[in-house]
Amino acid sequence: MENVIAIKSYTFAIRIVNLYKVLTTDKKEFVLSKQTLRSGTAIGALVREAEHGQSKADFLNKMNIALKEANETEYWLMLLKDTDYISQQEYLSIHNDCSEVIKLLISIVKSTKNSLGR
């Protein structure tokens, strides 16, 4: 069975790392890019942790934190766009991936909560 969120969050993390490299090398931007790198790569790491959660509640907790990190990443990406560190086109491209990850995580969190009767 293909784990869509694991694949998409890993692919997204690669895009975030590449964005970080461009921002630090070409734009000499180190603060916002570091925040984006931290939150953007944490999503996939948390999804990976959740795969081997000790319980459904542990799985849900990790996925909830991944969702928070994805929302935070969306914030940093908007800030990078609105301060002209990335173009509108670059933003739309990576934001689409971020939104897709967020939607998947929301769906996983909701269905897990329902299965736990919360």
Four-point Cα dihedral 61, 95, 14, 80, nearest 10: -100
What pTM was estimated for this model as a whole?
0.95
Q: Which secondary-structure segment (H or E) carries 100?
A: helix 88-115
pLDDT in tens, 61-96: 999 999 999 999 999 999 999 999 999 999 999 999
Q: How far apart are CA 63 and CA 3, in angstroms?
A: 14
Give the number of other CB atoms < 10 A from CB of residue 74. 19
Residue with tokens 């996983």: 108
pLDDT in tens, 5-42: 999 999 999 999 999 999 999 999 999 999 999 999 99
Encoded tokens for 17:
């790392």
Encoded tokens for 39:
């939150």
